[in-house]
Amino acid sequence: MKPILVVNAGSSSVKFQLFDAERQDALRRLIRGQLDGIGTQPRLRARAADQTVLIDQSYPGEQVSDVPAALAVAGAWLHTTQSFEPVAVGHRIVHGGPKYDRPVLIDAAVLADVASYVPLAPLHQPNNLAAIRSIGARLPGLPQVGCFDTSFHRRHSAIADHYAVPEELYTEGVRRYGFHGLSYEYIASRLPEVAPQLAAGRVVVAHLGSGASLCALANRRSIECTMGFTALDGLPMGTRPGQLDPGVVLYLLEQKGKSAAAVQEFLYAECGLKGLSGISNDVRDLESSSDPRAKFALDYFAYRVGLETGALAAALGGLDGFVFTAGIGENSAGMRARISEKLSWLGGVLDPAANASGASVISRGDSRLTIQVVPTDEESMIARHTADLIARRG
């Protein structure tokens, strides 16, 4: 057995999975787990591949106060109870900047590069770095592989990647990167099997979760994405505003007297569904609320998804399919229905019964646009990349 550990570190949780990479063409998931509530109400949960509960344990907040502490707790449990010694660790890294267009073995130089992109992904990059450093300190000889959320979009055309700013800024790295690339890459890899009629066609994939974006695929390659230089752009999200006139930022700085740090905190933590509703950043909370602000936030979200889908359809020169994925896309039939209404002008006709039952194809048989739900699996994509890179390195 050749176990590969996959780590996806966030600000309040560390998700981890263990895969057997003995056969590169058929990775086998062994364990899926996460330690969430870091610093507040830490809870470690894990299941085996057959869904057997392996652990469900809570800890005092001070015992698991940060990402390194969470990794230590989860790692100790894996080591002492599961007897797995990983041959490599694969990490999700949100921002790869202009340099990294593919997975890479992490060394000191890569770590320094990744650290330089922290200002471009302040919610995510510090936690990605904390996980890499923590594992490196405890297991210095263990290979670690960085898999970047920006890599899948790095083959966009120059026109799609540019902002209308002087070229020297583009050269410095001020460009449209796009994110959620590991999710989109996984969906693209699944299309030949789950939607063969769409695999070579023009598809918009909607990764809708706490972070949200759309990606335009042509023949399973990314040609455009709603996110740009940072993960603030594009669709409204749980706590991020999405598309915003830069003049609003100037207004906050000049007229409201906010510092740059305060504006950053505001844009990443106080906007989006949370800001619109004044209630919650969670779609489930908003769907169960009778407050008209909750309905407004949900309607706004669906409106913006429809609007951006039209732009991506223009980039593709037409549209053959629309795919929902990630937490909201996979689990909220109500939001899928709201968004599908916005696709009617593109030929999309929802089948309400199929949507309510959680079917894979949720468009009606007479719909010109195929509307489908495909669960994402970023961790298996990371495991694939890690196994491939380690195999090439011998």
Condensed to tens digits (0 to 9), the pLDDT of residues 20-34 reads 887 766 789 999 998
Strand order in the sheet with 104-105: 53-58, 43-48, 28-36, 13-20, 3-9, 88-93, 144-148, 104-105
Residue 187 has pLDDT above 80, yes or no: yes
Are 143 and 385 a contacting pair, CB within 8 Å?
no
pLDDT of residue 143: 94
Closest CA to 125 of 93, 165, 163: 93
Rounded mean pLDDT of 364-387? 95
Catalytic residue among 50, 56, 66, 149: 149
Tell how far CA 240 is from the center of its chain: 14
Condensed to tens digits (0 to 9), the pLDDT of residues 233-250 reads 999 999 999 999 999 999
Give 331's pLDDT tier (boundaries 50, 70, 90). Answer: very high
pLDDT of residue 142: 93
Rounded to the nearest integer, the mean pLDDT of the chain is: 93
Closest CA to 186 of 328, 6, 374, 381: 381
The CA radius of gyration of the chain, in Å to the nearest whole number, is: 21
| Cα–Cα distance measured from residue 85 to residue 292, given in angstroms and rounded to the nearest whole number | 52
pLDDT of residue 37: 82
Q: Is 149 part of the annotated catalytic residue set?
A: yes
Answering whether pTM is above 0.75, one says: yes
Q: Which two tokens stand for residue 21?
A: 């990479």
| Cα–Cα distance measured from residue 264 to residue 135, given in angstroms and rounded to the nearest whole number | 29
Tell how far CA 68 is from the center of its chain: 22
Closest CA to 324 of 296, 289, 348: 348
Condensed to tens digits (0 to 9), the pLDDT of residues 86-145 reads 899 999 999 999 999 999 999 999 999 999 999 989 888 998 998 899 889 888 999 999
| Cα–Cα distance measured from residue 10 to residue 318, given in angstroms and rounded to the nearest whole number | 36
Alpha helices in 195-291, H assignment, sequence order: 246-254, 260-269, 272-277, 283-287
Give the range among 123-127, 254-258, 381-385 with minimum mean pLDDT. Answer: 123-127
The sign one gets for the Cα dihedral 243, 247, 250, 254 is negative
Share of the chain above pLDDT 90, in %: 79
Condensed to tens digits (0 to 9), the pLDDT of residues 65-77 reads 888 888 888 888 8
